[in-house]
Structure 1
């Protein structure tokens, strides 16, 4: 591999999963295009999904992708392995070749991982390579994670108790039912391991900005509680969202269908790279969409268990025909009203399309940022992990989303509630307010990441640090 010696050389290492690869690849592109870096993108091929491979088309000169050899994890994981353990074991085994891979390069100025590839820290220390972490979640989630790791013993349990709160230093109170760590009353061992490494990083890059998340960003930078850790320097360089994406197969059909619709009339329904619903909830969602009589573009997946993460390593694979698991006659009855696609749609292109009026989303951080950056209001439908926290943030703090109410005594959102929120977000008074707020934020966020904006200049400052560290014999 030939590296331009006149440019800073940065290695970017994401975790598997399109939710991690997408923002890390966008960071890599920004470093190349806007900050004159040469970037080597290390791609973990073990369990890579079909959708991930589509991301590597039309890369800019100066951004090279190196596939790390597949690791044999068959004896270490099974269908019963929790997804975070599966992810971390896959990364650990895939990075056994990392030192040799880095030694084959001219010494890079820095290596950047995400929150779940921090096993690279030891190799970076051995080779005296500055180590940075790019947070692909919200700043609020990261602040809460550090709070749990440092202060957890002061609390008896984080089990959901409606109406109860946790006070996060320097931030607003958090509802217990929105917290990601609720199953065992403790932070996951894998997550704790990553947090211990993150605090040894040379810096943390946040995929957000102070206009979006002023309290958690400032808390991690200034609050006395977080200074106990101590936190490495924290830099807001976002929101970084995709600017382009490949359009293939059913993507062209989706956009052609949208071209025929009235501006602002279509609800885009997509629950992320890991989002599946149980059969009962899938049925209620279908009936609600039909009853609303609003136009919709729905990325449909087969029903599954309640984990909400069954498709994590499979996104982009072909699924069964939706007619096999949707209410009988639904496809025919809604033929003139909506369009359904199996498994995947070009989300960026759909969100920026003039016919898209709202987004029913799982509230993953990437999807949330894409929706905000394109001025599209949301129906918040969180499924797992940090999504509950993101959903409340989008509704209460940003004012760009509405959230359906779960039926009392169940975990299901009924069809009449689906009908109500769909009608509201597309044509109601509350929907009008959040549409206006979404447009306001679009204008704000478009400025911070471009030349002269605060996030742009912060990333330029970090690149200068990369160069300085190596020049000073880091």
Structure 2
């Protein structure tokens, strides 16, 4: 008697916090949408698997998601002994982790080979930074899809930038750049990460070579899944289609947003204290400030921001992270003397050193705006809860997220760009003006609510855009 094959979806994230969160949300979505007899397994290294398992434990839809750990010894790749994610690495060392993950191909291949021998019919969904997984999928006869965890516009622009590295087509005395692949897009030098502005060097050559390898692998995939909504990013999605080619379908299956459980869960005392403080504030009066789990602005920028907060008297919650160059006692070098004590005594502001329950803060009725680096997860979390954004992009696709939020969606005002010591510093007066403009802009708030409703409708029961796209992906991969 012939053995019936088992459908099995393997999800392979890249271990950056936003990437892990996005793929975990995909896993939860698949578990809710696919038949119970379809297996779902997240594959990574031991510490990442442990963290993902802990993050998923609070979600009922994650209770039947499996995990598989590939053997990995960080020290073999020049990494600290306990380092398996970007969370514990300084930015210059990211390349070591990128390259180390490429070395997982033989172990992943052995794992998939065993599943295929056991009659599992596998589909691999991999983060764009582990696009090399397509080689295993092709070798073992599996379907393959790449998950783009950021938006479509940012993805298309970053792809074009890396593809043209190191010879970016600058003009106007090196201040402007027009992309050959997307001539309608013109970027200012200030909208590029420092990595694109660095001169030739052995280290930069390695980074570019790594990105070029992933780009080549990406062209071999069967599908591209994007964490966005079709109605919000028609231009960006058209750019991704143009980039990947007509033979590879691009399906927007967003917005995939954390629900406040799992990795966004804090010790209950901390969580409760933040929520109690927010409960004491007026509706839509609080400014939430966060530049992401690994980013910070410069000390002189922090000083101007803190001065602006004091001048406005605006209540705030600040997920405070010291610049990497400062030690644990360096806060006094970044803030006006006595700033934190005055804010606390007047119950006017909270500085959360390190962790912040971001989704819960954004969901609270007292939160009126989000001063953000505009990483894609933060953008979606803010808009999902109807919170307008003050944009301060620092790197990667964040500059293009802000561009789209401000120019196309009317959901944001850009305050500043980057944290380069050579960049102009937004003075406290300007910071205060922008914050108060966004907090008081009722038209922007209405627009953000419209965006939120559009994102909800994408998953409506009558088969709106994201729900339809996911169904088409299932059909193409024979997962029904």
TM-score by length of 2: 0.83
* 1:13-34 deviation per Cα after TM superposition (whole angstroms, max 9, x unaligned): 1001211000111011001112
For these two proteins, the number of residue pairs brought into alignment is 446
Which residue of the partner structure matches residue 26 of structure 1? 25
Q: Does 1:390 align with 2:401?
A: yes
**Contact 2:99 2:210 survives alignment (8 Å):** no
Which residue of the partner structure matches residue 284 of structure 1? 304
State the shift of 1:197 in Å: 0.6
The whole-number CA distance in structure 2 between the counterparts of 1:361 and 1:248 is: 20
Range moving further from structure 2, 230-239 or 331-340: 230-239
More helix by share: 2
| Aligned CA distance change for structure 1 residues 8 and 401 (closer, same or farther; 3 Å) | same
The whole-number CA distance in structure 1 between the counterparts of 2:141 and 2:453 is: 41
Which residue of the partner structure matches residue 314 of structure 1? none
Match among 151, 155, 174 for residue 142 of structure 1: 155
The whole-number CA distance in structure 2 between the counterparts of 1:90 and 1:271 is: 27
State the shift of 1:205 in Å: 0.5
**Contact 2:411 2:445 survives alignment (8 Å):** yes
**Contact 1:159 1:182 survives alignment (8 Å):** no
Q: Does 1:217 align with 2:217?
A: no
The whole-number CA distance in structure 2 between the counterparts of 1:276 and 1:50 is: 27
TM-score by length of 1: 0.84
Range moving further from structure 2, 186-195 or 166-175: 166-175
**Contact 2:314 2:348 survives alignment (8 Å):** yes
Which structure 2 residues correspond to residues 218-297 of structure 1 after superposition, within 5 A? 218-221=238-241, 223=242, 226=243, 232-246=248-262, 247-249=265-267, 250-297=270-317
Which structure 2 residues correspond to residues 47-446 of structure 1 after superposition, within 5 A? 48=48, 55-59=55-59, 60=61, 61-73=63-75, 75-77=77-79, 82-105=92-115, 106=118, 107-148=120-161, 156-157=169-170, 161-162=174-175, 165-166=178-179, 168-169=181-182, 172-180=185-193, 181-184=196-199, 188-221=208-241, 223=242, 226=243, 232-246=248-262, 247-249=265-267, 250-305=270-325, 326-335=335-344, 336-405=347-416, 410-427=423-440, 431-446=441-456
Which residue of the partner structure matches residue 313 of structure 1? none
State the shift of 1:236 in Å: 1.1
| Aligned CA distance change for structure 1 residues 301 and 462 (closer, same or farther; 3 Å) | same
State the shift of 1:466 in Å: 1.7
| Aligned CA distance change for structure 1 residues 51 and 300 (closer, same or farther; 3 Å) | farther
| 2:251 match: secondary structure | strand
State the shift of 1:284 in Å: 1.9
State the shift of 1:38 in Å: 2.8
| Aligned CA distance change for structure 1 residues 18 and 49 (closer, same or farther; 3 Å) | farther
The whole-number CA distance in structure 1 between the counterparts of 2:186 and 2:443 is: 25
* 1:258-288 deviation per Cα after TM superposition (whole angstroms, max 9, x unaligned): 1221111111101112212222222222222
| 2:124 match: secondary structure | strand
| 1:284 match: secondary structure | helix
The whole-number CA distance in structure 2 between the counterparts of 1:345 and 1:322 is: 17
What are structure 1's unaligned runs of at least 5 residues? 311-317
The whole-number CA distance in structure 1 between the counterparts of 2:384 and 2:171 is: 33
**Contact 2:393 2:417 survives alignment (8 Å):** no
State the shift of 1:160 in Å: 9.2
The whole-number CA distance in structure 1 between the counterparts of 2:403 and 2:272 is: 34
**Contact 1:320 1:342 survives alignment (8 Å):** no
The whole-number CA distance in structure 2 between the counterparts of 1:273 and 1:50 is: 19
State the shift of 1:125 in Å: 1.6
Match among 444, 451, 459 for residue 449 of structure 1: 459
**Contact 1:166 1:175 survives alignment (8 Å):** no
Match among 455, 461, 464 for residue 472 of structure 2: 461
The whole-number CA distance in structure 1 between the counterparts of 2:312 and 2:367 is: 16
**Contact 1:168 1:174 survives alignment (8 Å):** no
Which residue of the partner structure matches residue 86 of structure 2? none
